[in-house]
Amino acid sequence: MHLPRYTYKTNESYLDYEFLSVGPRGSVKKVVRFTAIHTGVFNLAFGDLDEETGEISDTIVTNNNDSRKVLATVAATVHDFTLQYSKAIIIAKGSTHSRTRLYRMGITNNWAVITLDFEVHGLKDKHWELFEAGKDYEAFLIRRK
């Protein structure tokens, strides 16, 4: 994807990614963490880093006027992660309905580019189905083609 995004860094295992969101609220450290929840299946956690605890807060609203750039950066980490773990299945869900909706809009707006490399499914009524723009989903499943 060639959208404006932040430079990120990762650890040796390619499971943790960090970058800074820069805007009117200052510089805020963001973290994308891929955690194995089953063999070959990873949860994507994303949010602000609490420097004291090392935990990710996925409920803070940063309001740094850079949500598109932040989402493009998260998407870039997914691309990078799946270059290292090509068979990985990634599950992503927002901490709130509105955040999950934001992820859906990001997928929809970049669908042509996403589908070049990835297959995307949405969770609806406890069943996974191929992603369709405009449908409301509870979570997303992403895997490299």
What Rg do the C-alpha atoms of the chain give, in angstroms?
A: 15
Residue 102, SS3 per DSSP: helix
Residue 132 vs residues 55, 72, 109, 129: alpha-carbon distances, Å: 33, 20, 12, 9
What is the structure's pLDDT at 44? 96
Share of the chain above pLDDT 70, in %: 99
Task: Flag whether 3 is in a domain.
Answer: no
Of the given ranges (9-23, 54-68, 118-132), which has the lowest mean pLDDT?
Answer: 54-68
Query: Of 68, 95, 91, 83, nearest to 3 (Cα)?
Result: 68
Task: Flag whether 30 is in a domain.
Answer: yes
pTM of the model: 0.90
Model confidence pLDDT, tens digit, residues 123-136: 999 999 999 998 99
What's the mean per-residue pLDDT of the chain?
Answer: 92
Tell me the residue range of the domain where 14 lies: 9-144
Task: Flag whether 68 is in a domain.
Answer: yes
Task: Flag whether 1 is in a domain.
Answer: no
Structure tokens at 4: 């404006």
CATH number at residue 45: 3.40.630
How many domains is the chain built from? 1
